[in-house]
Amino acid sequence: MNTPLDSIRNILPVHVRNRVDGLMEAADIFASMKSPSVMRAIAPSAVRGLLFSAGKHSDTSDMPASHSAHFNWAYPHDHPEMLELYERAKLGQWNGSDLPWHTSVDPLNAEIPVAPIDLIDLNVAKSMGIKFEGKEHMRMVHSMASWMLSQFLHGEQGALLASAQVTESVKFYDGKLYGATQVMDEARHVEVFQRYITEKLGKMYHINDNLFVIIDALMTDSRWDLKFLGMQIMVEGLALGAFGFLYQSTKEPLLKELLKYVIQDEARHVHYGVLALKEHINYGISKSERNEREDWAYEVALLMRNRFMAYEVYEEWYDGTSVTRSQWRELIMNSPGMQRFRKTMFTRLVPNIREIGLLSDRIRPHYEQAGLGIYFAGQAAPEVTGEQMVTELDRESA
Ligand SMILES: [Fe+2]
Ligand SMILES: [Fe+2]
């Protein structure tokens, strides 16, 4: 039903309507934050990312760091499980240059699609008056695949810099050794995604505003455990789900091979995050601090779930046309491919939030309301290795 506000909005020119829509969405994010301390922690990043789109105006961003670098001159082997991960990580190193880069990729070939062709569904689009002629739909699939992989790439750069910060600030000596392998892993991920995007897709998008907010928030927060929570559990956990989605659905062999390797590294990273946080959250902080982290994780999860709307693709295709930003959002929300994508993103994340102790009875109803309750019982990182994860993905898609 149309509200009086909708009626006013509908008579505005499309570009004004789009601006209002963007501001309303940002206001909505602030309004939905229930915890004042979470709001205080995220607000400066949200202003930079959502209101000023700081990630889009320049090719570079400087985020001031305020954490402490922690040294230990006694070199105690203080965490055997982290040491074991370190050994596994040394053995699991691979060289991005060895991937089959000679593979020829045609992102417009509907026979070997890079990403599912129903990421933008033709029938849903048609019902909204958006038509695709001839090769246009495959060009749209190409845009969506490039957008998705560009966000993976930007997330990987966030992971590269955040894992370096985390290696400095973590209190476990064994964690520092392991952390160094993650820094190398993330550098390799940046390398392979950037190479795939530039050599095979020929199209790169700016960082999504919501992803910028999350990276900005955790890079500038001085608390080491929030950095861990933000990067190792939230961003990496979502990425692991998203990589799994694309691994299962792509028909393009080079991308599939690339993702297979990346997923196995990421499984170790999330495992490390769980090891580092589990004890700390359950025994190392007060109840109010735990509640704050629980709220923070929930807000970040929603920020990612609700706002992964590919507006960067909208701006490229429809800015200045009669298609509005809110129509685009509806198209994204209702296209089966994007629905599966959003769903899969959470399969790895929610069980890890449970595992580290941030899914108490206080917050569970909120996750349930957001439709995320179905993931409560899933496998957490320590219960499944990267190899098992890939085998499981293969079995599901067979
Ligand atoms: Fe990574
Ligand atoms: Fe990672």
pLDDT attached to residue 2: 59
In the reported structure, the alpha carbon of residue 91 is separated from the centroid of ligand 1 by a whole-number distance in angstroms of: 17
CA distances from 52 to 10, 13, 255, 311 (A): 25, 22, 34, 15
Measured N-to-C along each axis, helices 236-249 and 336-345 cross at an angle, to the nearest 10 degrees, of 140
Per DSSP, the residues of 246-293 read: HHHH---HHHHHHHHHHHHHHHHHHHHHHHHHHHIIIIIS-HHHHHHH
Tell me, yes or no, whether 15 lies in a domain.
Answer: no
- Give one word for 320, left, alpha or beta, with left for phi > 0 and alpha for psi -120 to 50: left
In the reported structure, the alpha carbon of residue 247 is separated from the centroid of ligand 1 by a whole-number distance in angstroms of: 15
Residue 166 token pair: 């985390």
Residue type, 91: L
Range 299-328 burial, b when 16+ CB lie within 10 A, else e: bbbbbbbbbbbbbbbbbebbeeeebbbbbb
Tell me, yes or no, whether 372 lies in a domain.
Answer: yes
Question: Which of 38, 33, 23, 16 is CA-nearest to residue 226?
Answer: 38
Q: What is the CA radius of gyration of the chain?
A: 21
The four Cα atoms 387, 388, 392, 398 give a dihedral, to 10 degrees, of 50
Is residue 238 within 8 A of residue 345, CB to CB? The reply is yes
Tell me, yes or no, whether 157 lies in a domain.
Answer: yes
Is residue 354 within 8 A of residue 376, CB to CB? The reply is yes
In the reported structure, the alpha carbon of residue 189 is separated from the centroid of ligand 2 by a whole-number distance in angstroms of: 8
Which CATH number fits the domain that encloses residue 334?
1.10.620.20
Specify the number of domains making up the chain.
1
In the reported structure, the alpha carbon of residue 286 is separated from the centroid of ligand 1 by a whole-number distance in angstroms of: 31
pLDDT attached to residue 88: 95
pLDDT attached to residue 134: 84
Tell me, yes or no, whether 4 lies in a domain.
Answer: no
pLDDT attached to residue 4: 66
Which protein residues have a CB closer than 5 Å to ligand 2 (ion)?
159, 236, 266, 269
Task: Measure the CA–CA gap between 382 and 82, rounded to whole angstroms.
Answer: 11
In the reported structure, the alpha carbon of residue 234 is separated from the centroid of ligand 2 by a whole-number distance in angstroms of: 11
Tell me, yes or no, whether 48 lies in a domain.
Answer: no
Residue 244 token pair: 């799994």
Q: Which ligand is nearest to the CA of 192?
A: 1
Q: Which ligand is nearest to the CA of 231?
A: 2
pLDDT attached to residue 112: 96
pLDDT attached to residue 181: 97
pTM for the structure as a whole: 0.91
Which protein residues have a CB closer than 5 Å to ligand 1 (ion)?
156, 159, 186, 189
pLDDT attached to residue 5: 64
CA distances from 104 to 45, 142, 153, 254 (A): 40, 15, 21, 9
Burial of 355 (0-12, 13-18, 19+ CB in 10 A): buried
Tell me, yes or no, whether 208 lies in a domain.
Answer: yes
Question: Which of 22, 15, 360 is CA-nearest to residue 208?
Answer: 22
Q: Nearest 5 degrees, angle CA 218-CA 223-CA 229? A: 55
pLDDT (tens digit, 0 to 9) for every residue of the chain, 398 residues total?
A: 556 666 666 777 777 777 777 777 777 777 777 777 777 777 788 878 877 788 888 889 888 888 999 999 999 998 999 999 999 999 999 999 999 999 999 999 999 999 999 999 999 999 888 889 889 999 999 999 999 999 999 999 999 999 999 999 999 999 999 999 999 999 999 999 999 999 999 999 999 888 898 899 989 988 889 888 998 888 888 888 889 999 999 999 999 999 999 999 998 998 898 888 988 898 889 999 999 999 989 988 887 776 688 999 999 999 888 899 989 999 999 999 999 888 888 888 899 899 999 999 999 999 999 888 898 988 887 777 888 888 888 888 77
In the reported structure, the alpha carbon of residue 109 is separated from the centroid of ligand 2 by a whole-number distance in angstroms of: 31
Task: Measure the CA–CA gap between 243 and 4, rounded to whole angstroms.
Answer: 42
Q: Which domain holds residue 97?
A: 77-397
